[in-house]
Amino acid sequence: MKLTKTEQGMAYFVLVLISAITVLPLLIAFFTSMKGDAEFSLGAMSLLPETWHLDNYAKALQKGDWPTYFKNTAIVTIVVVIGSLLINSLSGFTFARISFKGNQPIFLAMLAGMMVPAQVVIIPQFLIMKSIPLFGGNNFLGSGGNGWLDSYYALIIPELAGAFGIFMARQFYLQFPKALDEAAFIDGAGYLRLFFTIYLPQSGPLVATLGIFKFVSVWNDFFHPLIYTNSESMRTLQLGLQVFRGEHGVQYNLLMAASLLVSLPIIVMFFVFQKQFIRSVMASSVKG
Amino acid sequence: MNKGLNRFIPYMLIFPSVVLFVLFILLPIVWVLYLSFTDYTMLNAPEWVGFKNFERLWGDEIFHRAVKNTALYWIGTVIPSMVIGLILANLLALRLRGLALFRAFLYLPGVISSVAVAMTWLWLFDPRQGPINGFLKLIGLEGRNWLQDPKTSLSSVILIGIWVGIGYAMIIFLSGIQSISESLYEAASLDGASGLRKFWHITIPLLKPMTLFLFITATIRSFQVFDLVFVLTGGGPANSSTTVVTQIVGASFQEYKMGYASAMAVFLLAATFVVTVIQYAVGSRNASAE
């Protein structure tokens, strides 16, 4: 569309205005994280700090066992991202490229499961976690102990499933020509080898989309760690942030510093992989 | 390769997904339905009580409050963030200079965790030192304790909900606008249509699928609002900002009334199911109309 100079000016004006309002809370949080104790608590209305207190970040890190929280979140996120990518893309590949009895019904049942809110099934999931046999002090009937609760298993295993991932992978693998499979079969390759040597190496866009999607949702997850864990050694970053606020909540400059640190990996990833990020968001609407 | 064995290979390949699906979705759905008809405190075995939990739910004023608040949150967040997202998407689609940066910053609230978002707004809303009350004081208005005042707690959470939702709506609308053929607008321009008319008669109708999608997903997501409420107000004060999921979590994991909480969860499932059916019905009607 061609715009006149005035129209362009107006468009910019509205854009800048709404953007300013939208981004202002984040800017305030950022600058508050650099303000000195006396300065921020005076309620000073200046956006920028008078002196820049980078040491707020070091101070925030000293309060609370952040290395443990970071380790927990990193382990859970990385294992879930890699594991779910493998499981979901392999299933999507199977649904897309192999005809077998039950292909459609099984796929549709899983897709329907995607609609079920996590909060609806949290109670039975909790009870299932608690009664996994031979874990967490349980006997072989699954009672007596805590099962998978308060362990990495509880945070990792359920997240490996993903109807959305299977759906996206199936869509992706449907695009390849039939001749590709036939050529590979002449070579005597099995399905598993076909997947790992031919399809997976070409799955860059799929891996990026699903990987980012999963990374963000697991890194930011507050609900499941809140329900499934209780010991300090199992705390994730999001839980740690919530606890930090409970203990040092009035020191907002430090709270803002901690919030920023917890979000930093996601923010950096977002700016580096912006294109893939936007694509993964758009991909979520394809099914609509 | 052995033909008999070959037949089982597809099932082996989807086996992990199927096990996870059965264990963490299918079984829990059946289980939560069953539990909703029982009394269960985790100390005793579940005891069948028929519809008692649902009857109690029907008369539970706090749960009514939670349903009402969730509905208000739904109405209060979904439409405004979609409208603002649509306006922004249209401006971004103009391909002015520097737009990529705008797009990135506008989407940022959508990628940060809800806990970090809540922390940011706890500071903004802080009654004594926070910037919002500070600003109001500056222009001669009286601030208040936004999150801890029963009159404003829910509205404050809704405001944050809108803020979080804008970026997602913007991106989805933007992808829709970019898929509209430029020639449609050019033809309309030749006929002398103004920018606003083009917006009403070309952009809006062609964005119908995205609008439906956004409305439904935002609706379902709003039914599940929990993190923000839990961190910002804990559902208080005096249940003024409690929501359905806040009640589920409170009843189950704080009071261990697993049966009663399951009945609430079934209510949430039913509400979600109704919305999904509507989406499917409207979606297929649109598809057949085209």
Q: What is the DSSP string of A110-152?
A: HHHHTTS-TTTSHHHHHHHHHT-TTSTT--TTS-SS-TTTTSH
Mark which residues 160-199 of B lie under 8 Å from A by CB: 163, 166, 168, 171-172, 175, 182, 185, 189, 195
Distances (CA, A) of A180 to A185, A194, A199: 9, 9, 9
b/e map A224-250, b = 16+ CB within 10 Å? bbbbbbeeeebbbbbbbbbebbeebee
Contact B143, B152 (CB under 8 A): no
Among A279, A204, A272, smallest CA distance to B178 is for A279
Quote the pLDDT of residue B1: 46
CA dist B26 and B3 (Å) reads 32
Give me the domain span that covers residue B108.
61-289
CB nearest to B119's CB, from A195, A241, A284: A241
Q: Is B152 on the interface with A (CB under 8 A)?
A: no
Q: How far apart are CA B235 and CA B252, in angstroms?
A: 15
Residue A51, domain member (yes or no): no
Range of the domain at A279: 65-283
Element (H, E) at B166: helix B153-178
Q: What is the largest CA-CA distance in chain B?
A: 84
CATH number of domain containing A263 = 1.10.3720.10
At B196 the pLDDT is 78
Largest pairwise CA distance in chain A: 76
Distance (Å, whole) CA B254 – CA B267: 19
Chain B residue numbers touching A133 (CB-CB < 8 A): none
Q: Is residue B8, in this structure, part of any structural domain at all?
A: no
Q: Which residue of A has its CA nearest to B101?
A: A271
pLDDT at B241: 96
Tell whether A41 is covered by a domain. no
Q: Which of B100, B111, B163 sits opposite A22 (nearest CB)?
A: B163
Q: Which two tokens stand for residue B115?
A: 């806990």
Which residues in chain A have their CB less than 8 angstroms from residue B20's CB? 87, 157-158, 160-161
Cβ atoms B162, B170 nearer than 8 A: no
Measured in angstroms, the CA of A166 and the nearest CA of chain B are apart by 9
Query: From the list B96, B104, B224, which residue is nearest A12 (CB)?
Result: B96
- Asked whether residue A9 is domain-assigned, the answer is no
Average pLDDT on A97-106 reads 92
* Number of other CB atoms surrounding residue A108 within 10 Å: 10
The DSSP secondary structure of B228-243, one letter per residue, reads: HHHHHTTT-STTTT--
Give the residue from A3, A12, A22, A160 with the most B CB atoms within 10 Å of its CB, the best one to mutate.
A22
Token pair recorded at residue B85:
């997202």
Given a contact cutoff of 8 angstroms between Cβ atoms, the answer to whether B153 and B237 are in contact is yes
What residues does B48 pair with on adjacent strands?
B38
List all residues of chain B from 44 to 83 with a beta carbon under 8 Å from chain A: none
**Residue B237 preceded by cis peptide, ω within 30:** yes
Whether B30 is in a domain gets the answer no
CB contact under 8 A, A91 and B91: no
Judged by a CB distance cut-off of 8 A, whether residue B25 touches chain A is yes
Which residue ranges of chain B lie beneath pLDDT 70?
1-5, 287-290
The model's pLDDT over B10-66, given as tens digits with 9 standing for 90+, comes to 999 999 999 999 999 999 999 999 999 999 998 888 999 999 999 999 999 999 999
Which ipTM was obtained for this model?
A: 0.91
Whether residue B264 lies inside any domain: the answer is yes
Q: What is the pLDDT of residue A288?
A: 36
- Does residue A184 carry a pLDDT above 60? yes
- Distance CA(B177)–CA(B95), nearest Å, equals 12
Identify residue A202 by its one-letter amino acid code.
Q
Q: Which residues contact B282 (CB under 8 A, 6 or more apart)?
A: B212
Q: 3-state class of B214 per DSSP? A: helix
**What's the CA angle centered on B89, arms B86 and B95, to 5 degrees?**
155
Q: Given an 8 Å threshold on Cβ–Cβ distance, is A119 in contact with B248?
A: yes
Q: Are strands B38-39 and B47-48 parallel, antiparallel or unpaired?
A: antiparallel
Give the model's pLDDT for residue B209: 86
Number of domains in chain B: 1
Would B28 be classed as within a structural domain? no
Query: Which residues, other chains included, contact B99 with Cβ-Cβ below 8 Å and sequence gap of 6+?
Result: B92
Q: Is residue A32 part of a domain?
A: no
Q: Is B3 on the interface with A (CB under 8 A)?
A: no
Confirm whether A10 is domain-assigned.
no
Q: Is the pLDDT of residue A189 over 80?
A: no
Shortest CB distance from A32 goes to which of B108, B115, B123?
A: B123
- pLDDT at site B214: 92
DSSP percent split of chain B into helix, strand, coil, nearest 5:
75, 0, 25
Predicted pLDDT at A107: 94
3-class secondary structure per residue, B106-145: HHHHHCCCHHHHHHHHHHHCCCCCCHHHHHHHHCCCCCCC
Positive or negative, the CA dihedral A177, A180, A185, A186 is positive
Of B24, B231, B258, the CB nearest to A123: B258
Distance of residue A91 Cα from the nearest chain B Cα, in angstroms: 5
Query: How many domains is chain A partitioned into structurally?
Result: 1
The per-residue pLDDT for range A265-282, each reduced to its tens digit, is 999 999 998 888 888 887
- Go through A54-86 and write b for each residue having 16 or more CB atoms within 10 A of its CB, e for each that does not: eebbebbeeebebebbbebbeebbebbbebbbe
Residue B29 lies in a domain: no
B251 touches chain A (CB under 8 A): no
CA closest to B187 among chain A residues: A1
- Chain A nearest-CA residue for B279: A288
**Chain B: closest CA distance from residue A137 (Å):** 17
Across the interface, do A15 and B102 touch by the CB < 8 Å criterion? yes
What is residue A38's predicted lDDT score, i.e. its pLDDT?
79
Tell me phi and psi for residue B48, to 5 degrees: -65, 125
Cβ-based neighbour number of residue B2 at 10 Å = 6
From the CA of A121, how many Å to the nearest CA of chain B?
A: 5
Distance CA B40, CA B260 (A): 8
Higher pLDDT, B196 or A25: A25
Report DSSP letters for B63-90, one per residue.
HHHHHHHHHHHHHHHHHHHHHHHHHHHH
Nearest chain B residue (CA) to A213: B111
Q: How far apart (Å, rounded) are the C-alpha atoms in residues A258 and B119?
A: 10
At residue A286, the pLDDT reads: 55
Determine the average pLDDT of the residues in A132-137.
Answer: 88
* B109 vs B167: CA distance, rounded Å: 7
Whether B252 maps to a domain, the answer reads yes
In this prediction, residue B170 carries a pLDDT of 93
Extract the tokens encoding A249: 């909540």
CB atoms within 10 A of CB A26: 20
Is the per-residue pLDDT at A39 higher than 90? no
A172-178 average pLDDT score: 91
**Residues A264, B93: Cα–Cα separation, whole Å:** 29
* CATH code at position B193: 1.10.3720.10
Give the distance, in angstroms, between the CA of residue B194 and the centroid of all CA atoms in the same chain: 35
**CA–CA dist A218, A40 (Å, integer):** 33
Of B14, B166, B227, the CB nearest to A22: B166
Place of tokens 């009945």: B263
Q: Which has the closest alpha carbon to A91: A213, A173, A20? A: A173
Q: Which of A165, A117, A167, A223 is nearest to B275 (CA)?
A: A117
